[in-house]
Amino acid sequence: MDPAGGPAGATAVRPTPLWARATTSLRRPAFWLVLLLVVAGAWRVAVILGDGFRIYPVATTVAIGLFALYAIPFWLFVDNVDYLEREPPLLLLTAFAWGGLVATSTAIPGNAAITNLLAKQVSTGFAASWGPAIAGPTTEEILKTLGIVAVVLIARAQVNSVLDGVVYGALVGLGFQVVENMIYAVNAVGAAGAGDQVGPVVTTFFLRGFLAGLWSHTLFSALAGAGVAYVVVRIDRPLWLRAGVAGGALVGAWLCHFLWNSPLLADGFGYGTLGVFGALLLKGIPPLLLVLLMVRHARGREAEYYVGHLAVLNDPGIATPAELRILGSGRQRAEARRYAHGRAGIRGRAAVRRLQLAQARLAVELSRAAPSGIGPSVDGAGLYATGDVARRFREVRTQRRRLLALGHPEAVASPRAQPAWQRWLTWLGTATVVVVALAVAIGALGGG
């Protein structure tokens, strides 16, 4: 082994530095086009919210603050979906900005135009009932998907799995969801006609943030993003098949959005509050489960790919067999951190977390340095121990020493981990409490 922790006699190949990859992105016309569109969108959104500030300064400030805070846990969750290969923060911010500024500001006049067309061609009643279900998905899903395409054009090398498309799509959708809800909240204050009051803002925050948040734009765009990434990543498949998958994903996002916006089951089957809540679940849970299953499958494939690069090292100092088994599972990584906390306190939990992050970073660097770029290296000649790879080897060994110093040699879960049936029981209990709380809230807000 060399001093960096790599195998002796390894071929010296220096991966492209991060600054060089960034410079390449800056030279692409797509970057400057996206930047121009984001600036124009920011100006248009600022004008809309600026009117709210002039008329309802307190309510508008509260609306912006609430939905900005609302975005934080969603952002953290989406960012952690792809644990093994984290996306660059600036690129995630670009996706979020496209959704919140470009797509939102462009969709407003687009939706109005389609609604007016429906009113002229069909009837004003049809436009009022079905306009949101037709106009919203048609303009918004296309605009948001263009944002995912823009990310690909700016940084193609960062989109190397279907899971990456899910992450960027979800961030585009989250940006749209947050800014759109800010505008809806301010409009609700005006519609209430009671002056600069925060009551309509809080109601909008609950209805559009929590009741619709789990199965709204973040979900729709994640589905479309998976399709875009499939076109880019699966070059082993025919172009017509990849285009068909991307088109199917976009149509799926459109249909989910259409169903959610449609007046179908608006009366809750005629059963009041419980009926309204049941209708919301019936509309929202199927697409939510679809995306979750898709994410689980994609994460499994990605984990197998990246962890494979660590496995071929066959070096317990880098990752033990037990650590390799849990590294690709978010639940098992969390259980390993809890176990370390029980044995070595907060420092033990932190040490395990740092070791897991170091192992994940090393796996990604090894995959980038692999000769073929499509699978794990199988022998010493395929590993590279210079530049970023060497640094990641040193990082893992440093974190290993810190963990050993705490008397906790391995980042693994407790042998007495909670049985699966207990975990499911806990989830069921939590879901029941949430359902009851939401049903009571719907009734309090007039849903029944």
* In-domain check, residue 433: no
Same domain, 369 and 317: yes
| pLDDT band (50, 70, 90) for residue 365 | confident
Separation in Å, CA 94 to CA 149, 150, 162, 344: 12, 9, 19, 40
Which tokens belong to 280?
């919301």
Residue 443: pLDDT above 70?
Answer: no
Residue 191: pLDDT above 60?
Answer: yes
Measured CA to CA, the distance from residue 384 to residue 393 in angstroms comes to 11
Residue 364: pLDDT above 70?
Answer: yes
The lowest-confidence range among 3-12, 176-185, 274-283, 291-300 is 3-12
Q: Exposure pattern of 61-82 as b/e (b: 16+ CB <10 Å)?
A: bbbbebbeebbeebbeebbebb
Same domain, 300 and 412: no
Same domain, 316 and 301: no
Number of structural domains found in the chain: 2
Give the residue-averaged pLDDT of 251-272. Answer: 80
Measured CA to CA, the distance from residue 122 to residue 116 in angstroms comes to 10
Same domain, 288 and 371: no
Residue 434: pLDDT above 70?
Answer: no
pLDDT value of residue 269:
61
* In-domain check, residue 51: yes
Measured CA to CA, the distance from residue 182 to residue 180 in angstroms comes to 5
Measured CA to CA, the distance from residue 21 to residue 14 in angstroms comes to 13
Measured CA to CA, the distance from residue 186 to residue 293 in angstroms comes to 36
Q: What is the mean pLDDT of the chain?
A: 81
Same domain, 303 and 316: no
pLDDT value of residue 119:
94
Give the residue-averaged pLDDT of 140-157. Answer: 93
pLDDT value of residue 366:
84
Measured CA to CA, the distance from residue 294 to residue 307 in angstroms comes to 20
| pLDDT band (50, 70, 90) for residue 13 | very low
The lowest-confidence range among 12-16, 132-136, 214-218, 225-229 is 12-16
Residue 1: pLDDT above 60?
Answer: no
The lowest-confidence range among 26-35, 164-173, 233-242, 412-421 is 412-421
396 in Cβ contact with 355 (< 8 Å):
yes
Residue 442: pLDDT above 80?
Answer: no
pLDDT by residue (tens digit) across 308-332? 888 888 888 899 998 998 888 888 8
* In-domain check, residue 97: yes
* In-domain check, residue 166: yes
Residue 432: pLDDT above 70?
Answer: no
Same domain, 178 and 53: yes
Give the domain-ending residue among 286, 307, 328: 307
Same domain, 48 and 193: yes
- Of all residues in the chain, the percent with pLDDT exceeding 70 is 80
* In-domain check, residue 284: yes
Give the domain-ending residue among 307, 327, 352: 307
Residue 111: pLDDT above 90?
Answer: yes
Residue 3: pLDDT above 50?
Answer: no
Same domain, 317 and 253: no
pLDDT value of residue 380:
39
* In-domain check, residue 288: yes
Same domain, 289 and 402: no
Give the residue-averaged pLDDT of 102-124. Answer: 94
Measured CA to CA, the distance from residue 55 to residue 191 in angstroms comes to 13
pLDDT value of residue 94:
94
pLDDT value of residue 444:
54
Residue type, 240: W
Give the domain-ending residue among 248, 275, 307: 307
Residue 348: pLDDT above 50?
Answer: yes
Give the residue-averaged pLDDT of 419-424. Answer: 56
Q: Which of 107-116, 408-417, 433-442 is the most confident on average?
A: 107-116
Residue 207: pLDDT above 60?
Answer: yes
Give the residue-averaged pLDDT of 2-22. Answer: 39
pLDDT value of residue 270:
60
Same domain, 178 and 96: yes
Same domain, 152 and 225: yes
Residue type, 193: G
* In-domain check, residue 191: yes
Separation in Å, CA 103 to CA 107, 284, 369, 378, 390: 6, 23, 37, 45, 42
Give the residue-averaged pLDDT of 37-66. Answer: 93
* In-domain check, residue 155: yes
208 in Cβ contact with 167 (< 8 Å):
no
Same domain, 335 and 202: no
| pLDDT band (50, 70, 90) for residue 386 | low
Range of the domain at 253: 18-307
Higher pLDDT, 443 or 179: 179
